[in-house]
Chains A and B, each alone.
Chain A
Amino acid sequence: MGKPMKIRAAVKDGVTEVKILMQHEMETGLRKEADGTLVPAWFITEVKAQYQGRTVLEAQFGQSISKNPYLLFHFKGGAAGEKVTVSWVDNKGDTRTDEVAIAA
Chain B
Amino acid sequence: MNTSNVNKAILMLALAASCTVQAAENETTDSDRIAAYREMISDGNPAEFDEMRGEELWKTAAGPNQATLEKCDLGKGPGVVKGAYAELPRYFKDTGKVQDLESRLLTCMTTLQGLKEEDISAKPFASEKKASDISSLTTYVVGQSKGIKMAVSVKHPKEKEAYEIGKRIFNYRAGPYDFACSTCHATSGVRIRMQDLPNLSSNKKDAQSAYTSWPAYRVSQGLTRSFQWRLNDCFRQQRFPEPKFASEATVALTMFLAVSANGAKYDGPGLKR
In this complex, the interface size class of chain B, counting residues with CB under 8 Å from chain A, is: 10 to 19
The answer to whether A68 touches B43, judged by C-beta atoms less than 8 angstroms apart, is no
Residues of B within 8 A of A21 (CB): 43-46, 48-49
List, in ascending order, chain B residues with CB within 8 A of A70's CB. 41, 44, 46
Interface residues of B in 4-51 (CB under 8 A from A): 41, 43-46, 48-49
Q: List the B residue with the shortest CB-CB distance to A67.
A: B222
Contact A66-B219, Cβ < 8 Å, known A21-B46, A23-B46: yes
Contacts of B45 in A (CB 8 A): 21
The minimal Cβ–Cβ distance linking A31 to chain B, given in whole angstroms, is 10
Q: Mark A20-35, 1 if CB is under 8 A from B, else 0.
A: 1101000000000000
CA distance A67 to B221 in the complex (A): 10
Q: How many angstroms from the CA of A67 to the CA of B185 in the assembled complex?
A: 31
Check if A8 sits within 8 Å of B49, measured CB to CB.
no
Question: Quick one: closest A residue to B44, CB to CB?
Answer: A70
Smallest Cβ-Cβ distance to B40: which chain A residue: A72
Q: Which residue of B lies closest to A23 (CB)?
A: B49
**Chain A minimum-CB-distance residue to B217:** A68
User: A12 interface residue, CB < 8 Å from B?
Assistant: no
* Residue A6 CB within 8 A of the other chain: yes
| Contact (A3, B43) CB under 8 Å given A66-B219, A68-B222 | no
A19 contacts B by Cβ under 8 Å: yes
User: In chain B, what residue has the closest Cβ to A5?
Assistant: B49
Q: A38 to chain B: closest CB distance in Å? A: 15
Name which residue of chain B comes closest to A26, CB basis: B222
Complexed CA–CA distance, A14 and B44 (Å) = 23
List residues of chain A with CB within 8 A of the CB of B48: 6, 21
> Whose C-beta in chain B lies nearest to the C-beta of A6?
B48
* B49 and A68 contacting across the interface, CB-CB below 8 Å: yes
Interface string of B79-92 (1 = CB under 8 A from A): 00000000000000
Residues on A with C-beta less than 8 A from B49 are 3, 6, 21, 23, 68
- What A residues does B222 contact at CB under 8 A? 67-68
Contact A8 B43 (CB under 8 A): yes
CB distance from A34 to the nearest CB of B (A): 11
Q: Which of B205-264 contact A (CB under 8 A)?
A: 219, 222
* Residue positions of A touching B, CB distance < 8 A: 3-4, 6, 8, 19-21, 23, 66-68, 70, 72
Across the A-B interface, the 3 shortest Cβ-Cβ residue pairs: A70-B44, A68-B46, A21-B44
**B contacts, CB < 8 Å to A:** 41, 43-46, 48-49, 52, 219, 222
28 contacts across the A-B interface (CB closer than 8 A): A3-B49, A4-B52, A6-B44, A6-B48, A6-B49, A8-B43, A19-B43, A19-B44, A20-B44, A21-B43, A21-B44, A21-B45, A21-B46, A21-B48, A21-B49, A23-B46, A23-B49, A66-B219, A67-B46, A67-B222, A68-B46, A68-B49, A68-B222, A70-B41, A70-B44, A70-B46, A72-B43, A72-B44
